[in-house]
C-alpha cells in the first residue's frame, strides 16, 4: 500500500464522498445511484490517513461463483498520478480471485488493465439526450410487473451467461419493465440526470428497438448501447439522442461465460454493472 493511505470497506456513510468523487470526474451518479451499486456488490475505499479524505474508490459485483465485474473505479482528480488506480485494482482483483472478470475501460485506462491481463473484446457507446416525444409503440410489447422476473432472469442468463438475478431483482423493484413475449425484456429506471433504458435483452435488434420504444419517456434519457447494434444506435439518434465521448472498451480477464445463440444483450444496465 502507498504510504499515508488505508483501505476500508464501503459503507452507507461513504456514499456522499463517493458521489462527490464521481462528480469530480464528471460522472452523473447521485447518492441513490451509488447506494444501488454498493448494495449489489462489494466496495473498497482508499483514504488519506493524514486528512481522512476519501481519495479513491472501486467496486466489484459477483455474478455466480465463476464470474464477476469490476467498476466504479475512481481516483479523485487531486490525487491522480500517484499509482492509486493500480493499487485499487490490485485490491479488487485479490478479493475477486478465482473468477473471470469483465469491465469497461477508457482509452486512457486501457493500458493499466492490460497490465493485469485484461484483453479488449468489444465496445459500448453512451448515447443520451432530451427525448422530446414518445416513439411509436408496438402492441406486442407490454409493460408488466415483477411477476415476470423468473422469465427475465432466464432470458438474461441466456444472453450473458451470467447469474445476474440479484441485480435484476433490484432493478425490477426500482424501475419499469417491458417484455416482448418470450423474445426479450427491457428495464427503465431513474439514473443520473434522468433515466436509463437498460438492460435490453432480445432475439433481434428490431425487438430491442420496440422494447426501447415501450419504455422511453420524454426527458433526459441515457442508453449504453453495444457498438455492434447499428440498427438500435441509428434509431436512438433519430429520436434526438446523441453519442457522447469515445466508446468505452469492453475488457475481459479469464474465460468468457457461455451464452446461447438466438439472443443478445443490446444495452447495459449501467457501465459499471454491464
Instruction: Give per-residue pLDDT as tens, 164-201.
Output: 999 999 999 999 999 998 899 999 999 999 999 999 99
CATH number of 125-267: 3.40.630.90
87: DSSP letter: H
Confirm if 271 and 103 have CB atoms less than 8 A apart.
no
Mean pLDDT of the chain, nearest integer: 94
More confident residue, 4 or 86: 86
Query: Quick check: 1 pLDDT over 60?
Result: no
Q: What b/e readout covers 188-199, taking b as 16+ CB neighbours within 10 angstroms?
A: bbebbebbbbbb
For position 117, what pLDDT does the model report? 98
CATH number of 5-98: 3.40.630.30
**Which residue pairs, CB below 8 angstroms and at least 24 apart, start in 241-244?**
241/127, 241/128, 241/129, 241/131, 242/127, 242/128, 242/129, 243/125, 243/126, 243/127, 244/126, 244/127, 244/128
Is the overall model pTM greater than 0.85, yes or no?
yes
Instruction: Give per-residue pLDDT as tens, 97-113.
Output: 999 999 999 999 999 99
CATH 3.40.630.30 in the chain, residue ranges: 5-98
Query: From CA 122, how far away is CA 248, in angstroms rounded?
Result: 9
Mapping DSSP to helix (H, G, I), strand (E, B) and coil, where does residue 93 land?
Answer: helix
Tell me which residue of 12, 6, 94, 99 sits closest to 54, measured CA to CA: 6
Give one word for 17, left, alpha or beta, with left for phi > 0 and alpha for psi -120 to 50.
Answer: alpha
Instruction: Give per-residue pLDDT as tens, 233-269.
Output: 999 999 999 999 889 999 999 999 999 999 999 999 9
Confirm if 171 and 273 have CB atoms less than 8 A apart.
no
User: In this structure, what are the phi and psi dihedrals at residue 111, rounded to the nearest 5 degrees?
Assistant: -60, -35
Instruction: Give per-residue pLDDT as tens, 33-62.
Output: 999 999 999 999 999 988 889 999 999 999
pLDDT band at 3 (very low <50, low <70, confident <90, very high): low
Residue position matching grid coordinates 464528471: 26
CATH 3.40.630.90 in the chain, residue ranges: 125-267
Amino acid at each position: 500500500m502507498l504510504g499515508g493511505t488505508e483501505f476500508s470497506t464501503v459503507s452507507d456513510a461513504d456514499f456522499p464522498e463517493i458521489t462527490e468523487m464521481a462528480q469530480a470526474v464528471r460522472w452523473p451518479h447521485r447518492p441513490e445511484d451509488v447506494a444501488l451499486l454498493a448494495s449489489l456488490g462489494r466496495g473498497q475505499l482508499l483514504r488519506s490517513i493524514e486528512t481522512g479524505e476519501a481519495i479513491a474508490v472501486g467496486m466489484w459485483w459477483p455474478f455466480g461463483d465463476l464470474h464477476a465485474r469490476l467498476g466504479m473505479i475512481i481516483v479523485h482528480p487531486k490525487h491522480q498520478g500517484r499509482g492509486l488506480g493500480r493499487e485499487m485494482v490490485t485490491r479488487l482483483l485479490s478479493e475477486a480471485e478465482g473468477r473471470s472478470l469483465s469491465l469497461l475501460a477508457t482509452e486512457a485506462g486501457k493500458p493499466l488493465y492490460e497490465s493485469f491481463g485484461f484483453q479488449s473484446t468489444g465496445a459500448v457507446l453512451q448515447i443520451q439526450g432530451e427525448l422530446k416525444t414518445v416513439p411509436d409503440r408496438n402492441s406486442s410489447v407490454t409493460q408488466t410487473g415483477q411477476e415476470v422476473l423468473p422469465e427475465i432472469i432466464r432470458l438474461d442468463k441466456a444472453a450473458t451467461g451470467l447469474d445476474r438475478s440479484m441485480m435484476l431483482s433490484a432493478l425490477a423493484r426500482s424501475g419499469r419493465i417491458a417484455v416482448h413475449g418470450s423474445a426479450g425484456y427491457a428495464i427503465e429506471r431513474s439514473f443520473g440526470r434522468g433515466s436509463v433504458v437498460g438492460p435490453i435483452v432480445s432475439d433481434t435488434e428490431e425487438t430491442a428497438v420496440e422494447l426501447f420504444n415501450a419504455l422511453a419517456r420524454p426527458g433526459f434519457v441515457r442508453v449504453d448501447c453495444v457498438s455492434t447494434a447499428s440498427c438500435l444506435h441509428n434509431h436512438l439518434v433519430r429520436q434526438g439522442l446523441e453519442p457522447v465521448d469515445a466508446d468505452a472498451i469492453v475488457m475481459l480477464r479469464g474465460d468468457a461465460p457461455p451464452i446461447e445463440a438466438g439472443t443478445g444483450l443490446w444495452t447495459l444496465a449501467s457501465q459499471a454493472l454491464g
